[in-house]
Amino acid sequence: MKHGNDDQNCYVMGHKTPNIRDLYTLGPKLGQGQFRTTNLCTELSTRIEYACKSISKRKLVAKEDVDDARREIQIMYHLAGHNNIVTIQGAYEDALYVHIVMDLCSGGELFDRIIQRGHYTERKAAEMTRIIVGVVEACHSLWVMHRDLKPENFLLVNKDDDFSLKAIDFGLSVFF
């Protein structure tokens, strides 16, 4: 990334953002990937808990990497409001990370739930499939292709409801 006078090139987000720590307290780690960490975070003004995905800017070496991060955030804003898609609360950037604050889904991954249960009745499996296909339809109706659909990328809002699914991880998504 260039660090000249052109603001567009200084920031992944394209502009300066508020400091995330002025708005949220970052808490314990919820998950980890190769270039990102997801932490619990609490909004200071409301005490509401969210998840914060922090993408290491060290990963964003090529222009395409920066474009991918920008597109992920843009797509999340574009899809916001669907019941079964994680809602972005805000995106922030500091010297080391791009932070994406979104709904907290504390019920775990659909993948882990499937393993834990062993099997679903045909009726429950059909209902779950209906939700997943509904997410695909919603994305496609807004000209977005997720491109990484798998049980690990659906989280449950809470542990008690197998149908409280939300699609996550729009890092490979594109507009078409």
User: In terms of C-beta density within 10 A (0-12 exposed, 13-18 middle, 19 or more buried), how is residue 11 classed?
Assistant: middle
Q: Which residues in the chain show pLDDT less than 70?
A: 1-9
Residue 154 parent element (H or E): strand 154-156
Kindly name the residue from 148, 161, 162, 169 that is annotated as catalytic: 148
What is the per-residue pLDDT for 108?
A: 93
Contact 135, 148 (CB under 8 A): no
Annotated catalytic, 160? no
Contact 144, 79 (CB under 8 A): yes
Distance CA 115, CA 126 (A): 17
What is the per-residue pLDDT for 1?
A: 45
Contact 99, 52 (CB under 8 A): yes
CATH architecture of 110-175: Orthogonal Bundle (1.10)
pTM over 0.75: yes
Cβ-count burial 126-162 (b if 16+ within 10 Å, e if not): eebeebbebbeebbeeeebebeebeeebbbbbeeeeb
Find where tokens 């780690």 sit: 29
Q: Count the neighbouring beta carbons within 10 Å of the beta carbon of residue 175.
A: 11
What is the per-residue pLDDT for 7?
A: 47
Homologous superfamily in CATH for domain 7-102:
Phosphorylase Kinase; domain 1 (3.30.200.20)
What is the per-residue pLDDT for 9?
A: 57
All structural domains of the chain with their residue ranges: 7-102, 110-175
What is the per-residue pLDDT for 148?
A: 94
